[in-house]
Structure 1
Amino acid sequence: MKKALLLFAATMLSASAFAQLLNNPGSNHGNKFEQLGTIISDPNSYRSASGAPGPAYWQQRADYDINAELDEKNLKLTASETITYYNNSPDPLSYLWVQLDENQHKATSDNKLTETSKMSDKMSYKELDGIIRNENNLGINIIKITDENGKSIPYVINNTMMRIDLPVTLMPKGKYKFRISWNYNIPDRMTVGGRGGYEYFAEDDNYLFTMTQWFPRMAVYSDFQGWQNKQFEGRGEFALAFGNYKVNMTVPADHVVGGTGECQNYSQVLSAASMKRWNEAQSAKAPIEIVNLGEIKSGLSKKSSAKKTWTYVAENVRDFAWVSSRRLVWDAMATYIDGKKIMAMSYYGPEAYPLYNKYSTKVVAHTLKVYSKHTIPYPYPVAISVEAANGMEYPMICFNYGRAEKDGTYTEAIKYGMIGVIIHEVGHNFFPMIVNSDERQWSWMDEGLNTFCQFLAEQEWDNHYPSQRGPAHKIVDYMKMPKDQLEPIMTNSENIINFGPNAYAKPATALNVLRETVMGRELFDYAFKEYARRWAFKHPTPADLFRTMEDASAVDLDWFWRGWFFSTDPVDISLNDVRYYRMNSMKQAVENVEDKKAYDKDSKYIGRERNKAAGVKFAVEQDTSLLDFYNKFDRFEVSKSADDQFKTYYNSLSADEKKLYESKKNFYELEFSNEGGLVMPIIIEWTFKDGSKETDRIPAYIWRKNENKVTKVFAKDKEVASVQIDPYRETADIDESNNSWPRKAQPSRFELFKQQQAPRGSSTGSNPMRDARQR
């Protein structure tokens, strides 16, 4: 590709926009394989045509010094921060934009007002509460904003964004320091929703606090769009600047705190026993419980009225999150990436102990190793998994789910779901915490790329891992949906109907197809690592990914991006016909046998058979004088001169012609049609009459001259019994009934059942572990 991607703010493919993708509308060629053309713009000094950062590339930086206090009794957070903002752009800035994402919980927020609702025969409390609630006392309360000398600074809040009006223009290469004081009521995330808040455990009267989007954060100012000031509506996540953090968190003295970065004062906040275990974990090859299950169970009813302050620092991160509770087991072990020690850790409550104690920290370590192999070596000193009944990611810390039953057993679905979500959320450290794409605009750039790497990690965990996203055939049900229920991958996060398939599964599948079917592992892996290396700790756009994958592989992929990312076309390649040809042997003894078969077949029709069965007296039988030479002539008898005729023919051939004749090839002409619209390679599996198999792989470029229908002839040494296209289901073909010759019946099964409603998030089916204990 020779040009850079235009950054559209909304759905990129309306009917008119889609028409712009067609260079030769109305034709059967000249569309799907043309370069992206008018929908991309020229590269510049900031972003090169190769997909790498340009020579003048720049990005902003924001450092934070934060003091926060958690009021458990009143479920409130009070905090203040000093932000140092560095203007590395060439532009003078007269104002700054700050994100107040916690304002999404306000009853008057845009996402609440624009959220559709309807009545039904059965309404849940949450549904009704969401309709009638007018005031919920949620959202950030800004107390004051001042410069570093304490002088007030004017500001304007627009929903989830706040504009800071600078008293003096911030010039290029300058920096500005200011302070914000705020507080907010912590939401019950189990009822209100959202990524952060508290979860209440009635059985022991305690809370789990997951503190996310909890502080005013600088929005990104970039070369490709200026300020990223799209409002936070709950789905499109976060575009943030890198910086250094120092965070002091004051919490009840009996709480355990885990957060982004490294704790600076364990010796002051941990007991002597826990400190000893922490030191042992530095060289441990298996997780060591820093705070164990017995300790937290004995302390659940002894709530301390004292406070402790935990201090964390983190360098070159784009965000900060933390967890705080007195009901957390904490384990840790050392793992190594390219010789560098990283502390893999987990925090989890008693209900998650049977699963998390066995798996979580080891899954964290596994994830870091696999992702580092496929992208860049993990650069941070810590990676944390927290069980919090949900999934969400932040630098060095993530929140996941995975709780056992009351008796300590768990289903297979919960086990693999837990492992998968830990891999996914820990993996987000790479996308977008390090390769820092704009999630607010393109969710797929972090969710899709991360889901692809999750699939790789799952498959390297267990060869029989039941991955639900990544294998091509898993996306078929989505891609065969009606077009009015689909959007291209290149669609803004808030405009997508089926968000999971669109932003997670389809791009992950596309990358897997690229790796396994289009490019091959060697070319793909090198190019994908190059993308991660080029854009680590920077802000890439989709064009930077597209162009890097081409630049580092010498594979023209515009047709692939056009089809998979800019359209809603599915894959449906039909094998319409197989015609068999062989070379005429010029031997009467051989050819006459085949000719007789064809003659007999052509001579057979229903009237002739019925006349014979009816005993019709034919004229030549009633009057034998009508018979002549040709009535007795055997047209398929081998002549006496046949051998001489063949020798004359054979001797007339050149040496090369004789070699070709002796090869005795069988020729098969296959006709394919592109029923779905999305051009793809054609993978053909031949099964020969002796039972052996052979596979041919035809690149997608076969469709260049005719995007609707193509034919191709194959020469085979053996006679073919059957032909199957896409035998390993690697192209996401939505209709396998037209993939074989001869056609195969598509068996299926049905079951008569009584429909039941299962709680959201619950696993279905039996619990074999529990059943085994009861036997």
Structure 2
Amino acid sequence: MTRLPASLAALALIASFSASAQQFDDKFRQLEEILPTPTDTRTASGAPGHAYWQQRADYTIRASLDEAKRAVSGTETITYHNNSPDTLSYLWIQLDQNMFAAGSDNRSTVTYPSRDAWVSGRTGSGPSGANFDTARYIFASREFDGGFKIASVTDADGKPLHYAINQTMMRIDLPQPMKPGSRLSLKMAFSFNVPETKVLGRRMGFERFDKEDKNDIFEIAQWYPRMAAYYDAHGWQNKQYIGDGEFTLEFGDYDVELTVPADHVVAATGVLQNASSVLTAAQQKRLEQARGATRPVVIVTQDEATAAEKTRATGTKTWRFKASNVRDFAWATSRKFIWDAQGFQQGGTDVLAMSFYPKEANPLWEHYSTPAIIHTIQNYSKYTFDYPYPVAISVNGPVGGMEYPMLSFNGGRPTKDKKTGELTYAKRTKYGLISVIIHEVGHNYFPMIVNSDERQWTWMDEGLNTFMQFLAEQAWEPNYPSNRGEPRAIVDYMASRGQTPIMTNSESVLSRGNNAYAKPATALNVLRETVLGRDLFDFAFKEYAQRWKFKRPTPADFFRTMEDASGTDLDWFWRGWFYGTDPVDVSVDGITEYQISSKDPEVEKKWQKAQHDLEPVSLSDQRNKGKQTYVDQHPELKDFYNEHDDFTVTNRDRNKYNESVAGLEDWEKALLKEGKHLYLADFSNIGGLVTPLILEIQLASGKKYIERVPAEVWRRNPKKLTKLIVTDEPMVSLVQDPYLETADVDTSNNAWPRRVKPTRLELFKAQREQAGDMMKDFKEPLKKADANKAAE
């Protein structure tokens, strides 16, 4: 430990000390060099500008399911509103079913990272699973007659319109350009074969129950030609649908009639308009009861669904749905569906939460699906806005998890016990179901209402939604086993080399789950808990959701709004977490103790003697101890200095001290008497991502406290810094990031003195010894019980 001079200038120098960098990399430079220039449609604050506009598309659709052929056919009328200031000479339409067509980019660009990966089923861009499943996918994709068959494209009067199809995009050439503020209607007739989900995959399809009851569950999405988005920041979003970049759509009203076998039950976006035509009197009564129920009411019972499975109706029924101000429409149908519902109020909206599932999903789904819907909406609304739609639906079928307005497809079922035949579920299955329902229902907020461009930025819907999912999971029950959100859960990925920045186009992302879901969710959790704090973050996040509900934000709008509403410069955070791939890895390199010299000889020389006494005695002095010296033989040579050592206080020392303190102010004299302990702690930023320091300081008395230092401490040198720490008593240890809240990838260098981590062998030994002790405690009562039994 070093004794410091009392100079206040010296103290100021220590407090601001930071090692100079040879090559300065400003991690805190502004993002304006990257972000687009603000405009009158998107302001510098991140809010929609006074001239913000967006297009609109309304749909009237009439469609039928041919169950035997597993095919859908239909007609649609699209009324397109040109709210832009631009004149449009052509329109772009999404034909997403064409990804299943032979020769599509989705099929032809399937790649494998290596031959071993193909053999093992660990694929790159393509299906996952065993080699047999991979081969089945390849052969089925060649044989399946997929994609839209477009029978006609006409104007409102039935006159043919010229069009050109480029894989998953159709361009319609207009005979007269659309002026700003105008609208037009066009009609199309289309059909397509429904792919088998487990074979060809991708967000929709059918599931066959050949071994059980020869029935199918159909989950139908991306099923009608849809208007591509046209907006100020991008123009036409007509990037091809390859599979990962999802959908960018316009809001509108839907009037949809779906004709299906008469014994089918249909779940769909929107509100059922003709319950009296498609439900029995008893089912209609149950549906009305559900609206005011406090727990789910079964509309179509398991007995009714089981009875329907055994027969085949000869006719059809048409279900009609209407939905207002939604960006898409999806549906599911099967005679296998059990249907339950429960009403609740969210803000000023009466919402009906509904679940549709086969008997194979019970007892899991009847217990958890509808309650999970209600829980999701209640929690998401708290952080964003009130749920605006009248229904929210969860459907169990072949799709593991996919979202559409008011409707979600969710996987997860019990398994049949081989001995008893009973359906049971594991803990992982239970929480997996709750989580996927929270996630997919939560997508109603992002991107179904906060309408980001999924084709370009996967993280803007998946990342934000995964973060919200984490908050909802933690509100479900204590110690909920969340897979994503906690910083410690992303450490392995952050430490890996195969990363792409979060700000990577959807089709170019590597490790989609980590990059687009987990990392942005973790980043927002770090921003909320560690950087901003909950109050500032929650206000800013809610402001973003409120500003951009029913509008189309870009990443810049999110970044700018979070800074604007929190009053915090976060450019360093976005740059590191979203534009970079560096991890957090802060090392505590060393600590040196200092104390302010009081100049008082009575104090200082006593302290110096104490320090001297702590120093080891040299080997020579140890061996010379006890030997008689010359002065010992001639004591008359001894004087004052033989009687007193260097630590004796003299009058000269006292006089000098009195002279030095005579000119000090009272507050300076008080500071000298406090006896504060000063430590210079050296830190290295090994990972490269700047982060706040969270320092757990332990004092000699055993007291621990946390000192939080903002990330700006790295602004003068992002690689190394020295931080002054002042304590009232001696510090015995310091730990950086004690709660694992920054996703630090190497905690072995986070403590000073260094902490030795036990090896796996040592951990095993400790656990075995602990288990042995527990068994001793456990066996003793057994012995006593056996003895008592013998005595009886």
TM-score relative to the length of structure 1: 0.89
Of 534, 558, 576, the residue aligned with 1:521 is: 534
Question: SS state of the match for residue 137, structure 1?
Answer: coil
Q: Which residue is equivalent to 1:541?
A: 554
Q: Secondary structure at the match of 2:393?
A: strand
> Could you tell me how far apart the structure 2 residues matched to 1:628 and 1:491 are?
86
Deviation (angstroms), 1:60: 0.6
Indicate yes or no: 2:752 matched with 1:741. yes
Shift, 1:636, TM fit: 5.4
Match among 414, 420, 424 for residue 439 of structure 2: 424
Given the alignment of the two structures, is residue 466 of structure 1 paired with residue 476 of structure 2, yes or no?
A: no
Give the secondary-structure state (helix, strand or coil) at the position aligned to 1:426: helix
* Matched residue SS, 1:714: strand
Pairing 1:106–2:121 present = no
* Alpha-carbon distance between aligned partners in 2 of 1:453 and 1:552, rounded to the nearest angstrom: 19
Quote the residue 2:517 is aligned against: 504
Match of 1:159 in 2: 167
Distance in 1, Cα, partners of 2:241 & 2:625: 89
| 2:255/2:323 contact within 8 Å kept | yes
Q: How does 1:594-743 map to 2 (within 5 A)?
A: 594-600=607-613, 602=615, 604-605=617-618, 608=620, 612=623, 620=629, 629=638, 635=645, 638-639=648-649, 653-743=664-754
Q: 1:75 — aligned with what?
A: 70
Query: Is 1:138 aligned to residue 146 of structure 2?
Result: yes
SS at match of 1:40: coil
* 1:333/1:344 contact within 8 Å kept: yes
Say which of 414, 424, 446 aligns to 1:404.
414
Give the Å deviation of 1:224.
Answer: 1.0
Give the CA deviation at 1:40.
2.4
Which deviations, in whole Å up to 9, do the C-alpha atoms of 1:57-113 show, x marking residues without a partner?
Answer: 111110110011111111111111111111111111111111111111123111211
* Correspondence 1:337-348 to 2 at 5 A: 337-348=346-357
Q: 5 Å matches for 1:190-589?
A: 190-202=198-210, 203-389=212-398, 390-406=400-416, 407-482=422-497, 485-586=498-599
Structure 2 residue aligned with 1:46, among 41, 47, 50? 41
Deviation at 1:746, TM superposition (A): 2.2
Letter in 2 for 1:273: A
Q: Which residue of 2 aligns with 1:66?
A: 61
* 1:9 match: none
Q: How many Å apart are 1:367 and its aligned residue?
A: 0.6
**SS of the residue 1:552 aligns to:** helix
Q: What residue in structure 2 maps to residue 7 of structure 1? A: none
Shift of 1:524: 1.1
Secondary structure of the 2:258 match is: strand
Alpha-carbon distance, 1:464 to partner: 0.9
SS of the counterpart of 1:461? coil
Q: Is the 8 A contact 1:524 1:553 kept in 2?
A: yes
Shift of the 312–620 alpha-carbon distance from structure 1 to 2, 3 Å rule, reads: same
Q: Specify whether residues 637 and 674 from structure 1 end up closer, same or farther in structure 2 by C-alpha distance, changes over 3 A only.
A: closer
Gaps of 5+ in 2: 1-20, 121-129, 417-421, 765-792
Using structure 2 for the length normalisation, give the TM-score: 0.87
Amino acid in structure 2 at the alignment position of 1:704: R
**In 2, Cα distance between equivalents of 1:461 and 1:31:** 42
- Report if the CA contact (8 A) 1:252-1:306 is conserved: yes
Residues of 1 paired with 2:200 and 2:288: CA distance?
A: 40
Equivalent AA in structure 1 for residue 32 of structure 2: G
Distance in 2 between residues matched to 1:712 and 1:86, nearest whole Å: 60
Q: Is the 8 A contact 2:602 2:649 kept in 1?
A: no
What whole-Å deviation, never above 9, does each CA across 1:296-339 have from its counterpart, x for those lacking one?
11221112121000000000000000110111111111111114
Residues 598/663 of structure 1: CA separation in 2 closer, same or farther (3 Å cut): closer
Between the aligned residues of both structures, percent identity stands at 50
Match of 2:80 in 1: 85
Structure 2 CA distance for aligned equivalents of residues 258 and 236 of structure 1: 26
Distance in 2 (CA, whole Å) between partners of 1:55 and 1:97 is 27
Per-residue deviation, 1:644: 5.7
- Please say if residues 28 and 708 of structure 1, whose CA atoms lie closer than 8 Å, have aligned partners that are also in contact: no
Unaligned runs of 5+ in 1: 1-25, 754-775
Deviations 1:379-403 (A, max 9, x none): 1111111112410000000011221
Cα deviation code 1:1-27 (max 9, x no counterpart): xxxxxxxxxxxxxxxxxxxxxxxxx96
Q: CA deviation at 1:463?
A: 2.5
Indicate if the aligned counterparts of 1:43 and 1:49 stay in contact, CA closer than 8 A.
yes
In 1, Cα distance between equivalents of 2:669 and 2:266: 83
Q: Deviation at 1:748?
A: 5.0
Amino acid aligned to 2:85: P
1:600 to partner: Cα distance? 4.9
Cα distance in 2 between the residues matched to 1:289 and 1:307: 23
User: Any conservation in 1 of the 2:57–2:250 contact (CA below 8 Å)?
Assistant: yes
Provide the C-alpha distance between the structure 1 equivalents of 2:215 and 2:443, rounded to a whole number of angstroms. 29
- Aligned partners of 1:346, 1:741: CA distance in 2, in Å? 54
Counterpart CA distance in 2 for 1:272 and 1:626 is 122
On the 8 A contact 1:571/1:679 being kept in 2, the answer is yes
Q: What amino acid sits opposite 1:418 in the alignment? A: L
SS in 2 for 1:191: helix
Corresponding residue for residue 776 of structure 2: none
Q: Which amino acid aligns with 1:162?
A: M
Change (3 A) 1:642 1:373: farther
- Check the 8 A contact 1:563/1:569 in 2, yes or no: yes
For residue 561 of structure 1, give the secondary structure of its aligned residue in structure 2: helix
Q: Is the 8 A contact 1:249 1:310 kept in 2?
A: yes
**Aligned partners of 2:502 and 2:520 also within 8 Å:** yes
Q: AA paired with 2:328?
A: D
Partners of 2:241 and 2:216 in 1: CA distance: 27
CA contact (8 A) 1:575 1:741 kept: yes
Q: Secondary structure at the match of 2:424?
A: coil
Contact 1:28 1:706 in 2 (8 A): no
Q: Is this contact kept in 2: 1:588–1:642, CA < 8 A?
A: no
Secondary structure at 1:112 match in 2: helix
CA separation in 2, counterparts of 1:281 and 1:590? Answer: 81
Please give the secondary structure, in 2, of the residue aligned with 1:181: strand
Distance 2:698 2:663 in 1: 36
Deviates more, 1:708-717 or 1:578-587: 578-587
1:700-730 Cα offsets, whole Å, 9 max, x none, are 1111111111112122223222111111111
> Structure 1 209/751 Cα, relative in aligned 2: closer, same or farther at 3 Å?
farther
Alpha-carbon RMSD: 2.5
Secondary structure, aligned partner of 2:59: strand
Superposition deviation, residue 632 in structure 1: 5.1
Partner of 1:128: 135
Question: What is the CA–CA distance in structure 1 between the aligned matches of 2:99 and 2:213, rounded to whole Å?
Answer: 30
DSSP-derived class of the 2:449 partner = coil
Residues 421-447 of structure 1, C-alpha deviation per residue, up to 9 Å, x if partnerless?
110000000000000000010000000
Once residues 626 and 412 of structure 2 are traced to their aligned partners in structure 1, the CA distance between those partners, rounded to angstroms, is 86
Of 176, 181, 196, the match for 1:188 = 196
Alpha-carbon shift at residue 362 of structure 1 (Å): 0.8
One-letter identity of the residue aligned with 2:270: G
Whether the 8 Å contact between 1:84 and 1:177 is mirrored in structure 2 is: yes
Contact 2:349 2:389 (8 Å CA) reproduced? no
Output the CA distance in 1 between the equivalents of 2:269 and 2:402: 13
User: 1:616 and 1:539 mapped to 2: Cα distance?
Assistant: 86
Structure 1 residue 590 displacement after superposition: 5.1
1:527·1:548 contact (CA, 8 Å) conserved in 2? yes
